[in-house]
Structure 1
Amino acid sequence: MVDVNGIRLHIAEQGSGPLVVLLHGFPESWHSWRHQFGPLADAGFRVVAPDQRGYGRSDRPAAVDAYTILHLVGDVVGLIHALGEEKAYVVGHDWGAPVAWHTALLRPDVVLGVAGLSVPPPFRGTQPPLAAMEKRFDGRFYWNYFDRPGVADAEFGKDPRTTLRKFLSWASGDAPDAGAGRQPLVDPERGWLATMADPEVLPDWLTEEDLDVLTESFAQGFTGALNWYRNLDRNWELTAAWHGAVVTSRALYIYGDRDLVPAFPGTPELIARLPTLLPNLWRAPLELPGCGHWTQQERPDEVNEALVEFLTA
């Protein structure tokens, strides 16, 4: 447990050497990086993965506005310094990727290099994201569903293990309709889980023991994690000063060709332009064939190889 910015963060760590901070996404925990600890530590790095605020054994502030991107970046910077380091490599997946990218954008002086999995670098749009998606998808986009106070919290918290089993299977590259250009739309009356199949068998990359660990991390519910989404428009307001700014740190982007996030409206075009938008992109975006949303869990060998090459280059 580490004291950072007035809260306590739970971390897992292994190895010694330059610090690498691994940031998980939704609905996950530090455990999503279980396949990365050994290889990165063996390559000569000190690897630390926190449960980010609102998750796992870390603190869950009650206020919704305690989960802005500035708080999340502050946690990363504070964690680096609390661990006795001045600089670190920062790697993020899903929601952890925007936190990693924004850490590099807002505090390049503490970032040795940044890697994002699934979610590409942030380029601030011309209108608030929740409002934009509300208009585009008539309020059915999952961000807007998550923004409704208490609604998704109750749906997901009713049976956390079933919720997580459905989510992880639905967004896996093994799902029958993965990569079919689907958008994560929710019937506001039925909820999201009602449209997800409950698999009899877990994907090959996920064990029942992994699911046990993740289920335990959500024993206190999903509200803290959902509060991240409830700050999307607030984040847009808070980052106005960085409109048009680019990430200048050395960067790596990895995604799966069956991941629904890189298919979000406008994202394929953004990915195609990354070599011209990121001045220090280390290599062209790495696309992993057959990989769904859970990048480092579904394709650990390819992700580990790319990360080790990037960190040691």
Structure 2
Amino acid sequence: MSQLEKITIAPHLSFDALVGGQRAAPLVLLVHGFAESMNCWRAQVAALAGAGYRAVAPSQRGYSPGARPAVSDTSNYQIERMMDDAMAIVAASGYGEARFHLVGHDWGGSIAWALADRHPQRLASLAVLSRPHPNAFNRALQMPDGDQAHRSRHHKAFLEPDAADVVLAENAKWLRERWAAAGVPAAAMEEHLSVIGNKETMEAALAWYRARGAIRSPLGPIRVPTLYIWGDADDTVGRAAAEGTEDFVAAPYRFEVLPGVGHFAADQAPDHVNDLLLHHIVTYPV
């Protein structure tokens, strides 16, 4: 089971978080992406807690009402700020400089790759859902077939000033249709909309894209044991980027393809994701 807690890392930075497991247990930090919320990890938090881990899944900067700096200053939403948040949440959860396991999806995957690049000594393991290594992603974007560029076209649309209104129009029709096509259960849709289904939160979520722009910074080779999970029905990440991720991991690496699973694997196939995560984390203890 999980419970909702608040984790404060600084004045005006208090994060809602789903938390499960005993405080003394090895930590697993799970970071969500867009368009979703911390609720995407409910099944994983419960499974990890049941297996003897301390699982913490924060509602990230902009998504938590208590950690929503002004969107007018896009520097508040640079990826470095989210990376700093993650490490501060680990410390505030009582783990100081201890090693921990890191799991990320979508934007949370981007943060996870970057943290593994910056702090490899702190991570016992890394697991990423959907989001390829940035170098593999950039390479795929430049391929002449244009497949990955087409899959990622919504990223540029999110930079438009009216993007929040478009995404939330007609009772969040754009989101609901995309989630439904990806096999996200109706109950999970409502949980996500309870967080991001209002303009203030959506503007903050989209500020992540506006702070980054259309370019993804390259990283070095990852030197942390890595599990990469990709559903072959993911409409945002093509096979070239997914399969190419292996080229940028200089550590034990496992690539798992989920047949027929879309972008939101933790919502669509929670039991399969749980099995893969637990096997990976047990294999590389802190």
Task: Give the Cα–Cα distance (whole angstroms) in 2 for the partners of residues 14 and 271 of structure 1.
Answer: 31
Is 1:81 aligned to 2:56, yes or no?
A: no
Is 1:287 aligned to 2:257, yes or no?
A: yes
**Residue 127 of structure 2: which of 111, 115, 128 is its match?**
115
Secondary structure at the counterpart of residue 262 of structure 1: coil
Task: Give the Cα–Cα distance (whole angstroms) in 2 for the partners of residues 67 and 154 of structure 1.
Answer: 20
Deviation at 1:122, TM superposition (A): 2.0
* Structure 2 equivalent of residue 249 of structure 1: 224
Normalized against structure 1, the TM-score is what? 0.76
Is 1:53 aligned to 2:61, yes or no?
A: yes
Deviation at 1:70, TM superposition (A): 0.6
Normalized against structure 2, the TM-score is what? 0.83
**Residue 206 of structure 1: which of 185, 195, 198 is its match?**
185
The structure in which a higher percent of residues are helix is: 2
Task: Give the letter for the 1:111 counterpart.
Answer: L
Secondary structure at the counterpart of residue 88 of structure 2: helix
Secondary structure at the counterpart of residue 291 of structure 1: coil
Q: 1:160 to 1:23 in 2, by over 3 A?
A: farther
Q: 1:234 to 1:47 in 2, by over 3 A?
A: same
Deviation at 1:159, TM superposition (A): 4.3
Task: Give the Cα–Cα distance (whole angstroms) in 1 for the partners of residues 178 and 113 of structure 2.
Answer: 25
Deviation at 1:137, TM superposition (A): 6.5
Structure 2 contact 74–207 (Cα < 8 Å) conserved? yes
Task: Give the Cα–Cα distance (whole angstroms) in 2 for the partners of residues 234 and 10 of structure 1.
Answer: 29
Task: Give the Cα–Cα distance (whole angstroms) in 1 for the partners of residues 222 and 66 of structure 2.
Answer: 28
Write the deviation string for residues 243-289 of structure 1: whole angstroms up to 9, x where unpaired: 561111111100101002221xxxx3343344443121332x10001
Secondary structure at the counterpart of residue 94 of structure 2: coil
Is 1:165 aligned to 2:170, yes or no?
A: no
* Structure 2 equivalent of residue 311 of structure 1: 281
Write the deviation string for residues 147-173 of structure 1: whole angstroms up to 9, x where unpaired: 12x211122234454343123123x0x
* Structure 1 equivalent of residue 33 of structure 2: 25
Write the deviation string for residues 131-190 of structure 1: whole angstroms up to 9, x where unpaired: xxxxx979x921111112x211122234454343123123x0xxxxxxxxxxxxxxxxxx
Task: Give the Cα–Cα distance (whole angstroms) in 2 for the partners of residues 143 and 226 of structure 1.
Answer: 10
Task: Give the Cα–Cα distance (whole angstroms) in 2 for the partners of residues 278 and 310 of structure 1.
Answer: 15
Task: Give the Cα–Cα distance (whole angstroms) in 1 for the partners of residues 117 and 149 of structure 2.
Answer: 30
**Residue 163 of structure 2: which of 147, 152, 160 is its match?**
152
Mark the runs of 5 or more structure 1 residues left unpaired by the alignment. Answer: 130-135, 173-202
Secondary structure at the counterpart of residue 144 of structure 1: helix
State the aligned residue count.
264
Task: Give the Cα–Cα distance (whole angstroms) in 2 for the partners of residues 49 and 3 of structure 1.
Answer: 14
Structure 1 stretch displaced more, 159-168 or 61-70: 159-168
Structure 2 contact 127–226 (Cα < 8 Å) conserved? yes
Task: Give the Cα–Cα distance (whole angstroms) in 2 for the partners of residues 56 and 217 of structure 1.
Answer: 8
Secondary structure at the counterpart of residue 35 of structure 1: helix
* Structure 2 equivalent of residue 232 of structure 1: 212
Q: 1:247 to 1:58 in 2, by over 3 A?
A: farther
Task: Give the Cα–Cα distance (whole angstroms) in 2 for the partners of residues 151 and 51 of structure 1.
Answer: 24
Task: Give the letter for the 1:68 counterpart.
Answer: Q
Mark the runs of 5 or more structure 2 residues left unpaired by the alignment. Answer: 1-5, 142-147
Deviation at 1:107, TM superposition (A): 1.5
Task: Give the Cα–Cα distance (whole angstroms) in 1 for the partners of residues 39 and 138 of structure 2.
Answer: 36
* Structure 2 equivalent of residue 269 of structure 1: 240
Structure 2 contact 49–55 (Cα < 8 Å) conserved? yes
Is 1:100 aligned to 2:129, yes or no?
A: no
